[in-house]
Structure 1
């Protein structure tokens, strides 16, 4: 929960951060799809992306545990799966045309039958070489097989989707250059807090000084 006081305006933001369902990908009835993917993309990318579409759809369409949730933040989205990871796999011949067409139809069905829309995309822009070193430092076992070239290809897919003039994306984008320290990234977040939390579009009510002090004491800040 994030209490926000701006001048004489006060409102409460309850944020839910939805991480990628990595553990689901690691155990599909005993099968580690994440490991299989990085072992042989040509063989397993189709199955992996099918399951990723399913799990991301479940995450993006599930109701928050708290009915008071104001903002949901997704680590990645169905849109990034479709326009980055699927495109990268098809462009680099890891999946064939028929597989690509089936996965594209899955995405179109999800978009037509569920509300998977996004209000904002925060693009954490990072050179592939920096991401590669961070992945090695993270030490996730399945990712030891990831070559730098794969990250370079994914970077190109993200650039095409979010930064190119002919991009099909219509969602507003904020770009953070994250080949910096964590403190500098946090500062970028702070400077863009209103946009990220939707405060620039949220209708707020005036609060008198007495009420504002009561709110501060209640929330202990």
Structure 2
């Protein structure tokens, strides 16, 4: 059963569910979609002398495992940058590696490769550069001009809103008529302003672009860009 914190919204003629867990549920495909796990990011920084608590992969896997259980998903699509670098899988500790393998064997698991990923060698599941499912293109980075409705990640969008004299920043999805970019799921992923020109350019062509922020009861829509009237 999908948690009550997931709220519905329409995209590409279908209903989708977005929650504060930074994941997307696709009811028609019984699927859970996440982007930009960046597993083993902390250990990558440690190699350069920047010491961070080495628990980011376990935290990310804990949240992902809980979502698979709560949603009852039969399919999981990870939309790229699954590890922070090509050597990340080798740095994953044995306990976390076993958990990830077991999780990826529990359901129909697809790893979409991103710019941080190796192109082959998934421990479990299927690894692909992109995939079309139910008439929707799944890839890591949005491709301007893609004719199909498209789901992607890569940009780690966050909505920044000024409120009561301070700026509030929240992970968000970004949607146009034919494109939907997911927030980053990983524990140490940071984010890019949802209204950044590079992100808006990746959403083209579009008539309007909107940030989607899930609340307890609904998905709030925040306009980011509107095409000039002809």
Q: TM-score range by the shorter chain?
A: 0.3 to 0.5
**Length-normalised TM-score, structure 1:** 0.35
Q: Which structure would you say has the larger RCO, counting Cα contacts within 8 Å and 6 or more residues apart? A: 1
**Structure in which a larger fraction of residues adopt helix:** 1
**Structure in which a larger fraction of residues adopt strand:** 2
